[in-house]
Chains A and B, each alone.
Chain A
């Protein structure tokens, strides 16, 4: 444990244990909406500079530097938007659900600051259709923020206006991808757009749009209030600030844990999530949601940071950790994730539409004892034919479970094909 972890104090979840934590009165009682008062006394450029200096990177999976994105928003456009991504669908991830259900005002405060900094007059929240409680919490929180003068005309006497509304998705994983989300907000099927142009240039209704995940936006008030230096003092060289890790699978205490970036997987699993259930041995870990390559038990000293996970052949993704113990069949784990991606492919481009189904069929027949010699090579070849040649990042994502499972546990796949059943019994 390093020095900054010893002194680490949760900020994003600091109110979530309180009764009525979602209410504006609770938020105000515990220092809420102070950052926006401070922000409105600064110039937009000062705010953009603060976010750049904080080192904040996007928490929705891609990890793009937030301040750089703010800087990409054109200064002279007649109308600009902020789009707030609450379309949490990456298997293993449930942090955004907790944020919106338990502390939505923290996000609204971040949205107001971001909108003011980039000159946006309208904010659209997109929320996953299945999050029924989340929708209700968003609607109530926005209404209360209007009533208290944090949204609407002339916010806190600053002359800055911002309107905000909530829009429900209707069950499509791909709408978490930013351009698919914009299509869906426009009332269309969620087919991702080709990039460039990026949403900061051509976004919602073809106007410049700043798109952020809600955990990213939740960081903003704290950066403004405590200063970018405070934020940048937490974490590693390239991964700064606090992070909410969703931990699930074979642990004793699944749940969300807010901890610094850079903390090791071992510490999260064993010191926070209660270790492996039943005292069993750890076998594999997915570190950042279903689309990130899995790691093995001997890799858990790796710090949870963008650069360290990349170096280890995986990704930080959403920081959603799925823990699998020694009883897990890796063919079945890969098969199940492949089924998810085959189900969720939007069908717009061929490698993903056809390839995702072919990958699932191959894994399914191995799992059912119908595997043929050469199937492993065929899976890897199919993955090669998908990765890097699709419209959106889903192609690269969907090959990760099978590829990484074969990389680390190839003998299990071979055993399955030869013996027609699982090595773990």
Chain B
């Protein structure tokens, strides 16, 4: 059964979209990742233009992070003060990102920048995840205990504008979370990702936040950043396909529920290695497309067709 997507302007099988939503939702349930970094390339692979894929995926992430944050909120795992500061940076970042997106589209280099960002970030994240998971697997076998200091102090802690974050038990400069938020906002606008895969490690390792509140807080600010990206992309570029987003999130919600349940029964390290492999495979495919000589060196795009 095919459906014509009004903004993407292509006809796609509904069950394929539901399946994609379900599969990515399942993975996000198992691993606790947003899944945008997998969904956006998948949409591009099935023929959705990168512009529409990125903007629509931001819209879908709004829904998945709302349902996620409600679960964390009930357990009291959201640092609203930290979330708000991150959000301040995120809003500026998404404004800048949407502007940059329109600018690159005008230059004809948007697709290239999206692909490059994906290759770089998926490569880094996939590689680190793979190393970390295989090391954990190794450590479990050897039973070696590695002690870490509770807090490490370096130049980042000397920055001005210090703020106290009670829930996170931190007293740090507000500039840090603002710049992390900014980076994530730009990525959300350009790559159509929640940026969770950047933000979560940054919050743990750069800010030194307790792991328990990291996911909830990051989801909390992702809601607002992706909402603002959705709004700005709609208003500026008319690239948000609501129909596509609704189909994807229907599959995604169901997949995530199954995934969450399955995740508790599966062993962590092997799964993480699998996810790392998947991330690296997507990265490899994108890199191959950039490097391999295209069948046709020429491509076309309507100009000023509004």
Say if A and B assemble together. no
Interface residues, chain B, with chain A CB atoms under 8 Å away = none
Interface residues, chain A, with chain B CB atoms under 8 Å away = none
